[in-house]
Structure 1
Amino acid sequence: MARSGDIDIQLDNPMGFFESERLVDTNKEILERLGGSWELPPLLPTRWEQKPLLHWLHQFRSRFSSYALSTAWVDKDPRLCLTYPAYLHILLKRIPLVAAFREPLQVAMSLYTRDGLSINQGLALWMIYNFHLAAELSSDDLFLPYDILLQAPEVCSGSLIQKNVYQFLERCYHPRPADQDWQRLIDSSIKPELNRSNAVLMSESRLRVNTSLLNCCQQRYDRTLAATDWLNEFVNQFSNLPRPVLDEVVYEQIVLETKSVEFKSVCDQLESDLLAADELLVARSDQLQSLQEDYSLLKHKYLGIQASTSWRMMAPVRSLMDRFRFLR
């Protein structure tokens, strides 16, 4: 059952999102402030400590005052991978993180099914989100492989998952649940049948998947889960963005920076057109100046002729000729 203030239950998540409208709306505002959205994330970390962004974040402090003063609350929004550093300046303290690590193709398939994003876009976003998340994780946080959570025998009492969760709760000064409560929570919350990411890729979709990108993502996923220390290995594996991801980012233009490059290209073209127009205006001004000089010269010559003795002496002849033209 969804909590009060959470996003309403919908078809794509019948058990509830466990995401507060307050947090989701704020994350949306933060990303829009950067000119992006959840599907158009920043590639590079944002300098929230600099003006004017820092002052802009101050407006959210009253919105989250109850969060900042409380010590026992949980909220979930995948966009926190991108916006989490901003909350240090909003809440004025660091909030422990719980990171659920999902298999890359499952994430890409879920985004394809729900949002219509291509598999390659989904894989690139999976890498970018994890890249941002890895930069914020510390040894006090909790890292949980999503697929292992879905495997009921692995999450029973005595499992590594349970051990890690209990240690995390102790670090947060929160009492651990009794074993029977743990098992009841697992049974009521984990529903593998609702996992839509297991949909089979259509043959034509498989042909369009960037195999280099997929292999790169899968390798980092497999290496993380093969390690004895998941969290530290995750941080190591996602400390940089590999070339296949950057190539896909440029091709799909799925990060803010590529849109900035596109905008800069338009600005450069406009600047070039403006420069050409200025040069044409200068050329036309030179031509006008030349015509004005020619006109002044001709006018000066004409006035000189009118002032000459010969012009005055020929005045009667010109008058007579004008009369003859009138008679004709």
Structure 2
Amino acid sequence: MRNNNALIILGMHRSGTSLLTGLLSQVGVKMGRRLYAPQKNVNEKGFWEHEDIVDTHDELLLSLGSQWDDLLPLNDKWWEAEAIQPFVARLDKLVRRDFSDAEVWALKDPRMCRLLPLWLPLLEAQQTRPTFICMNRNPVEVVASLQKRDGFSREKALVLWLSHSLSAELYSRGMSRVFIGFDQVVNNPVETLLKIEREANLVFPISVKEASDNINGFVSPDLRHHKADAALKQADEGLSRMANELYRLFQEMEVETSSHHQLIDRIASDFIAYQKKWNVELLEQIRYLNEERADYRIKFFRIYTSWSWLLAKPVWLIEKWWRRY
């Protein structure tokens, strides 16, 4: 693929990745054939996620006994496992199908933060030039959103934020990337897109100036459901301290070239040390629940994609519609 530029959006769930990807669509960035539909009171203007790719990511994680909200890290070199290769082949096929002729395309899925090692050789093999857009949102706001949507505890939400944020930074380190703050996207979406275009060294299919009315109209105050202070409360303790420090470092990386690799690595070491303190009973329970959920969802995927289900689905939808009346 020649002149094939990919914008890979990296960020924890509820970090504003959907908003940013939706803005990219306003300047003609290609998103693929099928996207997940908007969901009221969650993402009213759309998730902007490639349905086939996200489903493949889900199945891949399930094959590893994991899922999107898993508190445990994936095994070392998981992407080299033989069981993973069919998913690599499927993702490769989907990218070729939807993006082989695209000058600029984007892919957004928070699972990418953990799955990036699988994608790097795939993008290289297709001669795609990736730029990684690292979204940074105050973890207090992310925590509040996850508590409201998923009922997560504060501690679980912080572990997930740290895990996704640290993984995304590590795996994209040394590559072309742009750090974007959620506040920046909400307050000045036009300048945000100009920054991405400039730092990614590309030209959007539709100019930012031409699309400025649509860009500003896409961002509205009601998209922000949670507003937090600049710092986490109890920021001197455990998870709060780590999250606050990482958030602050990412803020600095939004406006300057400093990498802060040593400071980020120190936070990563502290986070690993924190996880190692979890007791054996807790780890066993998490693994057991992961296996149970994986087994259930794998069976669901098999049924959902079976010929019998596909043939019966129209009848089921008609019956569902009929029951409303």
Q: Does 1:36 align with 2:59?
A: no
Q: TM-score, normalised by structure 1?
A: 0.62
Q: What residue is the counterpart of 2:114 in the other structure?
A: 82
2:63 maps to amino acid:
R
Q: Which amino acid aligns with 2:47?
A: F
Q: Which has the higher strand share?
A: 2
Look up the match of 1:63: 94
Number of equivalenced pairs: 247
Deviation at 1:139, TM superposition (A): 4.2
2:227 equivalent among 174, 198, 217: 198
Residue correspondence of structure 1 range 55-134 to structure 2 within 5 A: 55-60=85-90, 61-67=92-98, 69-71=100-102, 72-91=104-123, 92-93=125-126, 95-134=130-169
Distance in 1 (alpha carbons) for counterparts of 2:207 and 2:61: 36
1:29 shift after superposition: 1.2
Tell me which residue corresponds to 1:142: 178
Confirm or deny: 8 A CA contact 2:179 2:253 kept in the other structure: no
Q: Distance in 2 between matches of 1:210 and 1:34?
A: 35
Alpha-carbon spacing, 1:199–1:146, altered in 2? closer, same or farther (3 Å): closer
Q: Is the 8 A contact 2:158 2:243 kept in 1?
A: yes
TM-score, normalising length: structure 2: 0.63
5 Å-filtered alignment, 1:234-245, equals: 236-239=262-265, 240-243=267-270
**Match of 1:63, as an amino acid?**
L
Confirm or deny: 8 A CA contact 2:141 2:227 kept in the other structure.
yes
| Equivalent AA in structure 2 for residue 243 of structure 1 | D
Q: 1:14 aligns with which of 44, 57, 60?
A: 44
For 1:142, the aligned partner's letter is V
The C-alpha deviation readout for 1:273-295, integer Å capped at 9, x for no partner, is: xxxxxxxxxxxxxxxxxxxxxxx
Task: Give me the whole-angstrom Cα distance separating, in 1, the residues matched to 2:241 and 2:56.
Answer: 35
Pick closer, same or farther for the CA change 1:248–1:51 going to 2, 3 Å.
closer
Render the CA deviation track for 1:177-211: whole Å, top value 9, x for unaligned: 24352x324312323322223389xxxxx89x994
- Structure 2 gaps of 5+ residues are 1-21, 26-30, 289-325
Q: Is the 8 A contact 1:143 1:231 kept in 2?
A: no
Per the alignment, residue 308 of structure 1 pairs with none
The question of whether the paired residues in 2 share the 8 Å contact of 1:9 and 1:15 is answered with: yes
User: Which ranges in structure 1 are unaligned for 5 or more consecutive residues?
Assistant: 201-205, 264-328
> Is 2:36–2:47's contact at 8 Å kept on the other side of the alignment?
yes
What corresponds to 2:274 in structure 1?
A: 247
Q: Say if 1:55 and 1:76 are closer, same or farther in 2 by CA, change over 3 A.
A: closer
- Alignment partner of 1:143: what SS? strand
Instruction: Report the CA distance between 1:84 and its aligned residue.
Output: 1.9
Q: Determine if contact 1:106/1:197 at 8 Å carries over to the other structure.
A: yes
Distance in structure 1 (CA, Å) of the matches to 2:72 and 2:101: 30
- Please say if residues 48 and 85 of structure 1, whose CA atoms lie closer than 8 Å, have aligned partners that are also in contact: no
Equivalent in the alignment of 2:321: none
Deviation at 1:52? 1.1
Larger radius of gyration: 1
CA drift at 1:128: 0.6
